[in-house]
Amino acid sequence: MSIHFHPTNPTIEDDHDANLPSSDEDEDETWDDWISDSSTQRGDCRSLFDNKTGNVEDIIAYDKAAHGFDLNEACARLSLDVHGRIRLINFIRQTKPAPANIASLTGKESFFTSDDFLRPVVEDDPMLRYQPDDWTDSEDEDSLSTDRRIRLLEQKLTETKRDFQEYRKIVNQRFNLGQTAEPSGLPPKRDDDSHYFESYGANDIHAVMIQDKVRTSTYARYILGTPSVFENAIVLDVGCGTGILSLFAARAGARKVFAVDASDIAMKAEKIVKANDLDSVITVIRGKVEDIQLPEGVKVDVIISEWMGYALLYESMLDSVLVARDRFLKLDGVMAPAHSRMMLGLCDASEIVKDRITFWNDVYGFDMSVMAEEMYHEAVIDVVGSHAMLSTPSVVKELHLSSTTTRQLDFISSFKLTSSVDRRTKVTAFILYFDTFFTASGNPVAPEKEVDVIQENDAVVAEVWPLGGRPAPQRRMSQHHKKEKSVDKSTGDATKTDVVTSFSTGPKSIPTHWKQTLFLLKEPFVVDEGFVVYGHFHCRKSVSNSREIDVEMHYTIQDVEGQNESPEVIVQMFKIQ
């Protein structure tokens, strides 16, 4: 950063050639620069008492001459610090006292301690940013060496910057002024992480995930049942939470497991690892996987991660997993899971519509329908039964974890949904869910590969789930481990047999904690068997929070004869938040 010195201070200007950095050397103007130069160079400061404008010093001199009020003298008399000075300026601008009355202020008035008067009354008020050059009062400037003067100026500048940073922070916090520029002059960097990682610091969320039997037992079956991947392997667990996947990996014979988590849960994971005597195998690293370092030069054989959010991409944790892949995975390493699919279908969500929308129409005889309005803009996360599916699902996104890039996570895809109803039925929603596949090769599965749907009393859950506190029974090869032809990524040819383990979050499966995502339609429509809904599914990260998702549904409806039921394309937008 280059430092600007106050151009109106004669002692400084005189020495400009000697040692001080020239403003010509500036490349990027920063907030700090702006603080130091704008106060006198910008001619947009307004008088405290009338509409006269000019540069700050001229206006202060003008207020003194025209209104008999000397701001600098008043601040010195009242011994005001930076914040006191700012409060006084805002007090004058807001309450417009007569100049003579200001002379009677003692500094003990309540506004001198009120944060309300830190809030700028005039937007971007240069007077608030201006600091008089009173430093020379305490020094005999002629006797000062240039070096000493520079040091004093730098010290003064540092103090002023600190005061103003603090002031900006207070104003932003107190008045929620998110727009104030950052020191770089760029808009403030948004923090989409703190709240996110805080929420993973609590126990409950981890209990919910671990108790999701479909989810946890599938990971366990894959990790414990695929020795070719885990035996003697170096494993990276991205977002380890309690460490459950790392523990499975260690039990499966991994040589080394790095368990990374940025939330406070990492401290618990460390204790859990110790309590299970696995600290020689598992190393817990607290931090974002984007920022952490592994021991010099270490690359891993496999990355395990449970990164999936509602509607698959909510939370945007996949972005972090892809960074981890590019930083730490060996070229022939395995991503687990290897493949996820987003599935879209037509849905009869009449129960949900009743609970969340129609309910508001008559509440003890009052019309509260306004409460339901947002339901058409926000995706609903809820469980529907398999009977609610009114079409076979269409794949709207295939995510191959070994090759996907973050850019591909914002996308538009087309769909065609053919109604499978046997009698006229009202479509009240689109339903979205995802299927996830693990393979021994790390390759994605073939397009025709169907997901294993785990149902109540299915042996696969009991297999690895310790019932009644008893230890898990010895693993045996699951009936769901079917040998599959895997697809070569470059050619699409089936090249070798692969072991595939998978689970679905769709309505046919035992409900998972992801439930299903429903987009309730403002304009429900009735279909017979064979009606077709054509459309486009738009999915992108929200501009206001990168962990949230904006979805747009664009669609038209055709009857069995191919006639358009709706002549225009219907568009509805939703937030997943």
**Residue type (1 letter), 290:** E
Chain residues binding ligand SAH by CB under 6 A are 197, 200, 206, 209-210, 239-242, 244-245, 260-263, 265, 288-290, 306, 317, 320
**Quick one: angle between helices 146-175 and 82-95, nearest 10?**
50
| Residue of 431, 563, 456 whose CA lies nearest to 509 | 456
| Residue pair 553/525 in contact by the 8 Å Cβ criterion | no
DSSP state of 312: B
Nearer to ligand SAH, 127 or 245 (CB): 245
| Nearer of residues 300 and 557 to ligand SAH, judged by Cβ | 300
Cβ proximity to ligand SAH, 262 vs 557, nearer residue: 262
3-state secondary structure of 340: strand
What positions carry a catalytic annotation?
Answer: 306, 315
Closest distance of CB 318 from ligand SAH, Å: 9
* Those residues with Cβ within 8 angstroms of residue 122's Cβ, 6 or more apart along the chain or in another chain: 46, 93
C-alpha angle 54-60-62 in degrees, rounded to nearest 5? 70
Decide whether 207 or 395 has the Cβ nearer to ligand SAH: 207
Helix axes 213-225, 244-251, angle to 10 degrees: 30
Of the pair 419, 509, the CB lying nearest ligand SAH is at: 509
Task: Give the nearest distance from C-beta 485 to ligand SAH in angstroms.
Answer: 29
CB 357, min distance to ligand SAH, A: 32
Residue 282's closest CA among 252, 311, 309, 312? Answer: 252
234 vs 240, beta carbon nearer ligand SAH: 240
Q: Which of 23, 29, 28, 18 is nearest to 7 (CA)?
A: 23
Closest distance to ligand SAH from the beta carbon of 505 (Å)? 15
Phi-psi sector, 150: left (phi>0), alpha (psi -120 to 50), beta: alpha
391 DSSP assignment: B
CB-nearest residue to ligand SAH: 239
CB of 211 to ligand SAH, least distance (A): 10
Helix (H) or strand (E) holding 555: strand 549-558
- For 231-257, the DSSP string reads TT-EEEEES-TTSHHHHHHHHTT-SEE
Least distance (Å) between residue 179 CB and ligand SAH: 28
CB 277 within 8 A of CB 251: no
